[in-house]
Amino acid sequence: MSAPSAPKVSERVREILVDGKIRVEIERVRPQIDAGRFPIKRIVGETVSVEADVFVDGHDAVRCVVRHRHERETACRETEMKALANDRFRGEFVVEELGRYRYTVLAWVDRFLSWRQELARRVDPEDILVAAVGGAELIAQTAARAAAPEAERLRAWADRLRRERDASKLKRLGLDEELLALVEEHPDRNLATGYVRELEVVVDRTLARCSAWYEFFPRSCGREPGAHGTFRDCEARLEYAAQLGFDIVYFPPIHPIGHVRRKGPNNALNASSGDPGSPWAIGSDEGGHMSVHPQLGTLADFRGLVAKARELGLEIALDIAYQCAPDHPYVSAHPDWFRWRPDGTVQYAENPPKKYQDIFPFHFESEDWQRLWRELENVLEFWIGEGVTIFRVDNPHTKPFPFWEWIIGAIKRAHPEVIFLAEAFTRPKVMHRLAKLGFTQSYTYFTWRNTKQEITDYFIELTQGAGREYFRPNCWPNTPDILTEYLQFGGRPAFMVRLVLAATLAASYGIYGPAFELMEHQPREPGSEEYLDSEKYQIRHWDLDLPESLRDFVKRVNQVRRENPALHADWSLRFHQTDNDALICYSKSSEAHDNVVLVVVNLDAHHTQSGWVELPLEEMALEQTRPFQAHDLLSGAHFLWQGPRNFVALDPQTAPAHIFRLRRRVRSERDFDYFM
């Protein structure tokens, strides 16, 4: 009978056997997503605050640093981590360029700092004399690692510790802050512990964190009712969007539209000869994903529109819909890119009970999937070449996760300025996975969150939960696909309420216009969220000058957003108590707390609601005993408040919301009070 085989040695045990003198442990490094599988997100100029549990057996002192570098760099920079409590340390670094940064934690036992801490506790003169000898040796070892003139200074310090016989003087020498700073410049890291992996942060431009989007259909920009709009007609609509204070104008697909199985008005199965069809039914004999609809103009016209947008301070975002009309050139050229049914027809798109007979989805599991992926990458590269760097991606949750990780990673390595917005109204875990995989921003469930409790719970999750490191919310009160019940029956106040909520709860938001500011609210049929005479299936002519338009209100809200840094980010969002559930109250503040915005909204679109709001004045840098000013940035009114509890009343027909800038009273050098 043979002897039993020796048990396998784990990798960790192997490491210990290699060098058992490495004693420091590093745990619970934050932030990181799924054990470092995915990167966190920041914008240029933001700070990454890194925390970790760093500890060692016994009572030795440890030091640790955050090591960080841009992906193009080979050498790491370091930031010292400071002790918090319970062996928790924190360090920070600023991301200064677009692209990816890598960061990790390095820690080691600091023998000199350990010696210094022991020396501070010693009181017996003989103990101090003995300890001084050990300290001198540590300083001499540090000198051996240093270059002149620091080496000479360190050796001189070691000699003084060896020669001095007065215990009190020895203690002062050993605890000298100048000596500590000098030794810390030349640490002994021979037995340093590195965290088990490098973590990553994707760094985007400012619009990735804070942006206001305006969606409109270029074909509905014609100068006369029924006329098909052109790119040149769109210039006036761009000026309109710029006047309203938006940052990004988003176009639904601008490609040729299929003729086969074209949909008619209100999604009718049979279209007449003059019906334009759905822009999402992409492709015909006139071209595909790298072509523009001939009635809109030429690629040269589109480039001119992109340039015009830039002149106005806008960027144009394009819809990327990876799907085809039945007569798209891909269908005949690459039939294996589609799923064929037993009867010899291609499986069209469905989202029961909705059917899209005019749309063929790609078959991402086809044998030719690699060529398909490369072609879809070419589509993005083409439009980037035409000056587009922002894409709203249609239904990404119906395409494979590996595809998105690959294509977004490839595009952003070559073009780190590109922004991707995920239109994925689907299950939460799927939405979050897409954000982890690389989508810059994500649509949210805000559209269907109406009550105080629903809004509070959801936005606490978005802004305070773990997902905030990678999931950037973009809130839309309406889209061409979604006309909520609240907007259908709430009248003008409902549109005002949802605009204020979207624009202040989230740093990024958008509206589908002009349907929004003209308060389009008729559903196709009772119980439906589809618009009657939806612009998805027909050309609409919009009178932007109607007196009842909300354009001035939209403009004012966007102006408030631009002028208040507190509204440019999400993490400072805090909800405050009200004694009336029809009123919701929340605030945001800038990092320095020099800009505090308080929002109070009446969620009841039909009745005046009033009540008391309670504010945490200390967190807002306001004094309990001194009055402060609540300046309503919508109406211009000023209110003088004092103490944490204050009364509000909001009539939805006149002013369904307050957006206050809170200002504290200060005394000037000339001895008079003013608010700032």
Structure token digits, residue 422: 């995920």
Name the phi and psi angles at 372, rounded to 5: -60, -50
Interhelix angle 491-505/452-464, nearest 10 degrees: 20
Residue from 387, 385, 408, 364 nearest 251 by CA: 387
Question: 499: which DSSP letter?
Answer: H
User: Residues 631, 661: contact at Cβ < 8 Å?
Assistant: yes
Structure token digits, residue 359: 């749309």
C-beta neighbour count of 531 within 10 angstroms: 25
Structure token digits, residue 334: 């690459």
Residue from 499, 538, 488 nearest 217 by CA: 538
The residue annotated as part of the active site, out of 247, 319, 327, 394, is 394
Establish how many alpha carbons lie within 13 A of residue 206's alpha carbon, considering only the half-sphere containing its beta carbon. 7
The residue annotated as part of the active site, out of 51, 423, 520, 604, is 423
- The alpha carbons of the chain give a radius of gyration, in whole angstroms, of 31
C-beta neighbour count of 481 within 10 angstroms: 15
3-state secondary structure at position 299: helix
Structure token digits, residue 669: 């050098």
Name the phi and psi angles at 314, rounded to 5: -115, 160
Question: 497: which DSSP letter?
Answer: H
Structure token digits, residue 150: 């620091």
3-state secondary structure at position 307: helix
Q: Is the peptide bond before 477 cis (omega within 30 degrees of 0)?
A: no
Provide the residue type at 611 as one letter: G
3-state secondary structure at position 439: coil
Give the CA distances from residue 252 to residues 35, 318, 404, 514, 646, in Å, rounded to whole numbers and listed in that order: 37, 7, 20, 14, 45
Establish how many alpha carbons lie within 13 A of residue 73's alpha carbon, considering only the half-sphere containing its beta carbon. 14
Known active-site residue 394: yes
Strand pairing class (628-632; 99-109): unpaired
Residue from 444, 405, 568, 410 nearest 46 by CA: 568
CA–CA gap between residue 602 and residue 599 (Å, rounded): 10
User: Residues 213, 250: contact at Cβ < 8 Å?
Assistant: yes
User: Residues 33, 39: contact at Cβ < 8 Å?
Assistant: yes
Give the helix, strand, coil percentages of the chain, each rounded to 5. 30, 25, 45
- The sign one gets for the Cα dihedral 478, 554, 459, 651 is negative
Q: Is the peptide bond before 149 cis (omega within 30 degrees of 0)?
A: yes
3-state secondary structure at position 385: helix
Residue from 117, 146, 151, 153 nearest 134 by CA: 117
Q: What contacts 428, CB < 8 A, 6 or more positions away?
A: none
Strand pairing class (211-215; 199-204): unpaired
Provide the residue type at 620 as one letter: M
Known active-site residue 423: yes
- The sign one gets for the Cα dihedral 434, 436, 437, 440 is positive
DSSP E strand boundaries for 447-497: 473-475
Q: Is the peptide bond before 652 cis (omega within 30 degrees of 0)?
A: no
Residue from 190, 193, 239, 194 nearest 214 by CA: 239
Active-site annotation, residues: 394, 423
